[in-house]
Structure 1
């Protein structure tokens, strides 16, 4: 029984991980409520989650805050872009519903297809921002590339990200306490497990002295790695 509750036992490691996810979720939730900080909050969250997945030692709040401050400006711009596009799609949906009798069904399917593609691209934006140093244009471009190169895991990430919505649909407000504790970090942790292997393929091969410091060469190496993978697929 003593070994069961030992700090290095699998049981205690799971409990520590659950506690870290809960703490991180509460921190993210606070910043998601504050206007214009959602992008930096998601970036900081993915920074910490990727550390967890890779079993790299990090302090949850300290790691989150470090990435939050480091990426605040660019992540905020990306957040505004994402929210603006989502708003446009939302307006289109409302317009189609209001004019359902006068709009051909094909337009509904086109909008649905575009929305799904954009959603899968959006899933990579803030994880990429947390890991790679890129201009905004390249981050968006790489998010598009990763969503394609990452198939079918991209579909898996999309399904996992919808878990909170499905739980809320089936269990109503009874599930809200669970969502407050794990609504963001739970699904995102599973997503990090999926995109971790893909990210490693494009990260610098040379070991860094400080693994938490991102180099300016990341972008060039990332672009070169993507090009090599595309060429390999074309040959197949």
Structure 2
């Protein structure tokens, strides 16, 4: 029956579901040591973008390729993120139980800082997965992209907490969260930022929009490291800044 042909919409859908499930399990396993959360999330977004672009990929092999490639930087960025979160939470708790007169303005300032931090770390692992930069430039570029893609950044932040909210409201769906809680939001995120990333890749590769796909395929054939460029994303954004909310 055509319904069960490998190229049928049903089989393609089932294959994508299986890929996302396997990707989620790998991410959970690689997050267990805690210190490797950064490279695990980087590899997650690397694979999510491949799946969103319908690129041919081998989930386990390509996942661990990205994990290994971004191991050091992923750990450093994750530790920075962890320290920043601890400091912000600590400051909020101190202000909550403090009686100082300027406590409320300080809470507003901290809230603004927290939002900017969330904007940055929403994009930091997708940027690290696809673009080759130093740690500080990766964080800086993720911050600018988070601002430039403002509406989509908010949506991505919401998507990231949906599995946790669903688990709290309906603990019986724990098996679904276990199988898809990381990978499905990452795949949905990739769908949102794919066109924006493609524009940046095309700029770096010196190809037109029409040749973008061919350029990406050429990079994949060129070697194991598929990241696009070194230390150039911020200059590229400055040269041709996308409008806020533009795809």
* TM-score (structure 2 length as normaliser): 0.86
Are the structure 2 counterparts of residues 14 and 228 from structure 1 closer, same or farther at C-alpha, using a change threshold of 3 Å? same
Partner residue, 1:136: 135
Partner residue, 1:190: 188
CA RMSD of aligned residues (A): 2.1
* 2:130 and 2:226 in contact (8 A); partners too: no
* 2:137 and 2:231 in contact (8 A); partners too: no
5 Å matches for 1:1-236?
Answer: 2-99=1-98, 104-171=103-170, 173-203=171-201, 204-206=205-207, 207=215, 209-211=218-220, 213-214=224-225, 218-230=229-241
* TM-score (structure 1 length as normaliser): 0.89
Q: Distance in 1 between matches of 2:108 and 2:232?
A: 38
| CA-to-aligned-CA distance 1:120-159 (integer Å, 9 cap, x gap) | 2101111111101101111011011101111221111111
Deviation, structure 1 residue 87 = 1.0
Partner residue, 2:212: none
Partner residue, 2:211: none
Structure 1 residue ranges without an equivalent (≥5)? none
Deviation, structure 1 residue 114 = 1.5
Q: Distance in 1 between matches of 2:99 and 2:3?
A: 60
Deviation, structure 1 residue 102 = 6.2
Q: Distance in 2 between matches of 1:103 and 1:219?
A: 44
Number of matched residues? 230
Q: Distance in 1 between matches of 2:68 and 2:186?
A: 20
| CA-to-aligned-CA distance 1:38-64 (integer Å, 9 cap, x gap) | 011011111111111111100001110
* 2:50 and 2:57 in contact (8 A); partners too: yes
Q: Distance in 1 between matches of 2:228 and 2:164?
A: 39
Helix, strand or coil for the counterpart of 1:133? coil
Structure 1 residue ranges (4+ consecutive) displaced by more than 4 angstroms after TM superposition: 100-103, 212-217
Q: Distance in 1 between matches of 2:152 and 2:136?
A: 24
